[in-house]
Amino acid sequence: MSKVNGVVNTITKIITWVLVVLLMLGIIGGVAYFALRSQGVTFYVEYGGEKYFAAGEGGSIKLYNLVDNSFSVRSLKGEDVNYNVKVYANSANDFAFSHNDSKYHFVRTDDETYNDYTEIFGTKKGKEGFTLTFPQDFTPELAVERKYGGDIALSEPLNEDYAYFVIEVTSDKSAVKLWYTFENFVISTDSPNVVF
């Protein structure tokens, strides 16, 4: 009988400890949720397995041509978010160019509609996220040419390592900013295997 009582006591202690640990984790999770929410962190954007939280520092990413670059937008609770997405010119990497004998800057202060590249990148917004798509060998120069409706002449060559565009996802008063560069997605069919 004492062996049975000892086993029952041991099992009771283990269950009690498990419940205490679960309760502590729940309390810590609740405190963390409300602390993040009070700082404006109500949602996150996920791309390539990385999460970028609202009201944070954002991030630097690479986007690929010929594929849908898919982003998911979720609340901290995992629910759908009422959000807006915009792609615009990165003011940190301004450059000069000419179009139809007129000189311009990539980042325009006289007409900010020229800074919005959301449509140029084929941005498609859905309930759970959005995609950006662009063709083979797409470059910042080609994006500007599409925006202005014709060829442009750069004052100096562009640096492929610079992020010329920013994705901004906003919901309420919070935002996630993602600076991005282009990466060509190449499919080679020269060998018997398809290489990505």
Q: What is the pTM (predicted TM-score) of this model? A: 0.73
Burial of 105 (0-12, 13-18, 19+ CB in 10 A): middle
Q: Where are the domains of the chain?
A: 1-38, 40-183
Q: What is the pLDDT of residue 17?
A: 79
The parts of the chain modelled with pLDDT lower than 70 are 1-7, 23-41, 185-196
Amino acid 16: pLDDT:
78
Residue pLDDT, tens place only, 120-140: 998 999 999 999 988 888 889
10: left (phi over 0), alpha (psi -120 to 50) or beta: alpha
